[in-house]
């Protein structure tokens, strides 16, 4: 976040000079396809302008502060002007309003998504800063609200922002408040969640090893198809190891004991089993069944277009992008009440399986090395995350090792401290993805 002070001294709001005791913060979006702040600042910086907010956010990280924070703004058309700081987010140029808060994309959908996610991230940073400055609890009732929530409370005019934009990308005010609280505590709530889109952490060999332990009599045909989870996942940008872990859950580790589907259906995730007694869909081959599963996961996790031809007949029933994280695949845990399954803890069950799959590689790695340090390791992937502590429960630094050779100066439960971060002890990598030299 780059905070730029640019008070609109010519606006009637600024010249009115009224002050407030800050009780909360309200998030808005501008309501038109304009990614730049300058046109709004120019229009508001006039004596006759009837609106002015405290700040406006651009997707590149620039935040223009237009009023002193304790100055009474004209941002919501209601009593919240007397208690809340108002912050606007610009909107992507690739949308078109079709009536009220309804909109459609007119151009590159990836640009729309990138803009919305970037302004969301910047808003979390700004609201974290303001909560700390004014000693606000982001989880307290009525402290962090959207314009539409203010309307429902009777303290703002009838607008649909910001949920009208956010909901398409799996964002919500509930998650926004959680992310602010997590950031105030030194991390990001999203760091503790597992994105469905991305590159897998588990290898095909780890998946096979896990499955053979859980199901010693597993058919060779099942073992032979495991690499398809990675190749089909890679084709759509979905983590194939998450898809495989989900299949293990849905099929009882491919025993099909108590499962609604059978091996011959090539449906390893229960697609089409919408109620008890339903047998679900069938596919001509394991590859097509896995492809349909990956496509269905992408429907939940992303608003991006499919790259392969769609063979998931239930794709159209999913609210796109409502579950970008595996933890949100269960309807009870999903902020929007959406999700793949109604059972409690569905996403966590998948991740528990995934953790055991990945541990297959960690155990083999740890058995092959001594505990002496320092030593060197080779990293062969470009995007190995560096975290602030040893474990996925610690936040990412935002940096990657890149491909190369690195010195480990300390170990902790399968994680290694990089020499470059030795002084502050805030740069750890998973040793499961390295080779000791």
pLDDT at residue 370 in the model: 41
Tokens representing 358 are 């990945």
pLDDT at residue 185 in the model: 80
The C-alpha angle 129, 132, 138, rounded to 5 degrees, equals 90
> Can you give the residue ranges of every domain in the chain?
2-192, 204-351, 369-436
Buried b (16+ CB within 10 A) or exposed e, 17-46: eeebebebbbbbbbbebebebeebbeebbe
Pick the CATH number of 369-436 from 3.20.20.220, 2.60.40.10, 2.30.30.40, 3.30.70.890: 2.30.30.40
d(CA 54, CA 158): 20
Supply the Cα-derived Rg of the chain in whole angstroms: 25
pLDDT at residue 436 in the model: 75
d(CA 273, CA 46): 60
Q: pLDDT tens string for the chain (437 positions)?
A: 888 889 999 999 999 999 999 999 999 999 999 999 999 999 999 999 999 999 999 998 899 999 999 999 999 999 999 999 999 999 999 999 999 999 999 977 788 988 999 999 999 999 998 998 889 999 999 999 999 999 999 999 999 999 999 988 888 999 899 989 988 887 555 556 888 998 898 999 999 999 999 999 999 999 999 999 999 999 999 999 999 999 999 999 999 987 888 999 999 999 988 777 677 899 999 999 999 999 999 999 988 889 999 999 999 999 888 899 999 999 888 877 889 998 888 999 999 999 999 886 544 444 444 445 688 888 877 778 899 998 888 888 888 888 888 999 888 877 889 999 988 899 999 887 777 77
d(CA 127, CA 138): 9
* CATH code at 2-192: 3.40.80.10
pLDDT at residue 374 in the model: 84
SS3 string of the chain? CEEEECCCCCCHHHHHCCECCCCEEEEEECCCCCCCCHHHHHHHCCCCCCCECCEEECCCCEEEECCCCCECCECCCCHHHHCEEEEEECCCCCEEEEECCEEEECCCHHHHHHHHHHHHHHHHHHHHHHHHHCCCCCCCCCCEEEHHHHHHCCCCCCCCCCHHHHHHHCCCHHHHHHHHHHHHCCCCHHHHCCECECCCCCCHHHHHHHHHHHCCCCCHHHHHHHHHHHHHHHHHCECHHHHHHHHHHHHCCCCCCCCCCCHHHCCCCCCCCCCCCCCCCCCCCHHHHHHHHHHHHHHHHCCCCCCCCCCCCCHHHCCCCCCCEHHHCECCCCCCCCCCECCCCHHHHHHHHHHHHHHHHHHHHHHCCCCCCCEEEEECCCCCEEECCCCCCCCEEEEECCCEEEEEEEEECCEEEEHHHCCCCCCEEEHHHEEEC
Q: Report the topology of domain 204-351.
A: Lysozyme (1.10.530)
Q: Return the number of other C-beta atoms located less than 10 Å from residue 366's C-beta.
A: 15
d(CA 310, CA 298): 11
Whole-model pTM? 0.52
pLDDT at residue 430 in the model: 86
Tokens representing 17 are 């000079």
Q: Which residue has the tokens 């300390």?
A: 410
pLDDT at residue 78 in the model: 96
């Amino acid at each position: 976040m780059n905070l730029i002070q640019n008070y609109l001294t010519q606006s009637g709001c600024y010249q009115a000079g009224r002050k407030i005791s800050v009780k909360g913060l309200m998030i808005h979006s501008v309501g038109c396809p304009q990614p730049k702040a300058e046109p709004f600042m120019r229009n508001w910086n006039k004596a006759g302008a009837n609106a002015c907010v405290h700040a406006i956010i651009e997707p590149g990280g620039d935040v223009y502060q237009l009023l002193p924070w304790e100055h009474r703004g004209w941002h919501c058309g209601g009593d919240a002007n007397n208690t809340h700081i108002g912050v606007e987010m610009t909107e992507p140029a690739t949308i078109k309003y079709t009536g009220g808060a309804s909109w459609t994309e007119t151009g590159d959908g990836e640009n729309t998504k990138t803009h919305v996610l970037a302004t969301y991230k910047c808003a979390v940073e700004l609201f974290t800063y303001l909560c700390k400055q004014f000693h606000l609890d982001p989880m307290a009732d009525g402290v962090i609200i959207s314009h539409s929530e203010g309307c429902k409370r009777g303290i703002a005019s009838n607008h649909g922002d910001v949920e009208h934009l956010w909901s398409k990308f799996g964002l919500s005010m509930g998650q926004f408040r959680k992310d602010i609280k997590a950031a105030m505590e030194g991390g990001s709530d999203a760091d503790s969640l597992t994105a469905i889109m991305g590159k897998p952490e588990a290898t095909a060999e780890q998946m096979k090893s896990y499955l053979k332990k859980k199901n010693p009599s597993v058919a060779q045909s099942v073992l032979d198809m495991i690499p398809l989870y990675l190749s089909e996942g890679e084709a759509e940008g979905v983590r194939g190891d998450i898809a495989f872990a989900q299949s293990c859950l849905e099929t009882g580790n491919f025993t099909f004991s108590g499962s609604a589907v059978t091996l011959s259906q090539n449906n390893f995730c229960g697609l089409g089993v919408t109620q008890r007694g339903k047998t679900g869909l069938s596919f001509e081959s394991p590859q097509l069944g896995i492809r349909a599963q990956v496509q269905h996961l992408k429907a939940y996790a992303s608003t991006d277009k499919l790259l392969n031809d769609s063979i998931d007949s239930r794709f159209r029933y999913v609210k796109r992008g409502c579950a970008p994280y595996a933890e949100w695949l269960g309807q009870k845990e999903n902020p929007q009440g959406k999700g793949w399954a109604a059972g409690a803890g569905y996403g966590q069950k998948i991740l528990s399986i995934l953790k055991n799959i990945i541990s297959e590689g960690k155990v083999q790695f740890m058995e092959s090395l001594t505990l002496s340090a320092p030593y060197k390791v080779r990293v062969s992937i470009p995007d190995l995350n560096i975290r602030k502590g040893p474990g996925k429960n610690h936040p990412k630094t935002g940096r990657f090792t890149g491909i190369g050779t690195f010195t480990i100066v300390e170990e902790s439960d399968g994680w290694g401290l990089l020499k470059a971060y030795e002084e502050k002890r805030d740069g750890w990598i998973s040793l499961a993805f390295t080779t000791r030299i």
